[in-house]
Amino acid sequence: MTLKLINNVSFILMILLFSTCKNEADPDATSNVSADSLQIEALNVVISTDSEILGEPREIVNMDEDHFAVYDHAYKKIMVFNKSGEKQYEFGNTGEGPGEWDPMGGARDLNYHDGTFFSNNGSRYLFDLYNKDGGLIKSISYEPYLDYTHKSLVDENRILTTTNGNENSLAVVLDLENELAVIDSVGQPEAGFRLRPNFEEQRTTYANGELPEGALNEALATKIEGDYIVFMNTLGELRRYSQDGEIVFEVELPKDVKETIFNYIVEVNKNESPPHSVRPLEYAKEIQYKNGMVYLFMPIKHPDREGLEARFLIYDEEGSLLSHFVFEPDERETILYDFTVDEDNTVYFADVMNASVLSFDPEIKE
């Protein structure tokens, strides 16, 4: 696997056009980058395949300057490691008791903030909160529409979750101390909310080279200082919303990236998808904010297609693309499934294919 690093080479990546309600970025600015290449061997192996510590790492979160945690779906455990990859302790179990997970879904949407773990117990429609040592603090029931949405723990009492257009918003902040009351709403939906999508309708719409209305609200979201960052996952558009609901900026993915993925989705839904199913358009899997930067992860989902390599993009708070990493496949089968970033900007990836954890220190051009 080859790693291409695409860095900013111009002094200004985008020109913001000011209006009364929003700033729009120059769509060509994100393409004004150059490429360097690094081999996958340049990434550090934090937890190796040979250690057999992990079986199927699906979620990884940074805890503090010395520790990170991994949810392993093979062992159904949350495991805490030091930054050298040495396991410190583990917790969690499957079952129907307090804080136990369904064996199929496990602990999804793992988050950590200041001594509190958060996970989504999807089959039971419960949010579970644990202390740093793995003791259950409480479980909170939630509405089914929140099950397959992106979730980010703001602090031990609040969670930011996307809504797919429900609550007349793109995302909401929920109060974990007050029956998930809506504290704040973010953005306006692009289309009406649909609880049950029509997959055949979506497949046909994609096959015609269009975006299905029922998918337009799908998004990822993260909290930044005072504002919110939302990535529109079918529009391929990064947005910043102010606390007052104004759009501060909106910027599209690099044109070549966006067109390659979209054209693939059109083709596969036209020629390969079975009836009454759909290959959905989802540009990214995870978004995070750390150290004043926004990290967007686009894992490889279509290894048989040229140009659809895994990508990792880093933006500043104003929407300027700072770095763009491209992971090209080689003889080693690797699936970088999830990521986290620590206080030193070191990025950690969970490699689900090889049951390992890899890391690298990206060179970020300010």
Nearest Cα neighbor of 137 from 151, 150, 119, 149 is 119
| Confidence at residue 307, expressed as pLDDT on a 0 to 100 scale | 64
Q: What is the DSSP string of 133-161?
A: TS-EEEEEE--GGGTTS-EEEEETTEEEE
First to last CA, the chain: 27
Instruction: Mention every residue, 6+ apart, whose C-beta is less than 8 A from residue 199.
Output: 276, 277, 278
* Cα(43)–Cα(185) distance, integer angstroms: 39
DSSP H or E segment with residue 207:
helix 199-207
Please give the full DSSP string across 248-303, using - where no structure is assigned.
Answer: EEEEEPPHHHHHHHHHHHHHHHHHTSPTT--------SEEEEETTEEEEEE----T
Are 233 and 220 spatial neighbours (Cβ–Cβ below 8 Å)? yes
Q: How far apart are CA 213 and CA 201, in angstroms?
A: 10
DSSP class of 124: G
CB 281 within 8 A of CB 266: no
CA distances from 149 to 146, 228, 302 (A): 6, 16, 22
Task: Show pLDDT as tens, one digit a residue, over the chain (366 residues).
Answer: 444 433 333 322 222 223 333 445 554 445 455 545 555 666 899 999 999 999 999 999 999 999 999 999 999 999 999 999 999 999 999 999 999 999 898 999 999 999 999 999 988 999 999 999 999 999 999 999 899 899 999 999 999 999 999 999 999 999 999 999 999 999 999 998 877 788 899 999 999 999 999 899 999 999 998 899 999 999 999 999 999 899 999 999 999 889 999 999 999 999 877 777 899 999 999 999 999 999 999 987 665 666 678 889 999 999 999 999 888 766 667 788 999 999 999 999 999 999 999 999 998 876
Alpha carbon separation from 267 to 117, 175, 204, 212, 312 (Å, rounded): 41, 42, 11, 15, 24
Q: What is the pLDDT of residue 306?
A: 65
- Beta carbons of 45 and 356 less than 8 angstroms apart: yes
Tokens of 271: 């020629």
pLDDT for 350: 96
**pTM summary value:** 0.89
Give me the pLDDT at residue 41, please. Answer: 62
Of 154, 100, 103, 160, residue with least CA distance to 130: 100
Are 91 and 71 in contact by the 8 Å Cβ rule? The answer is no
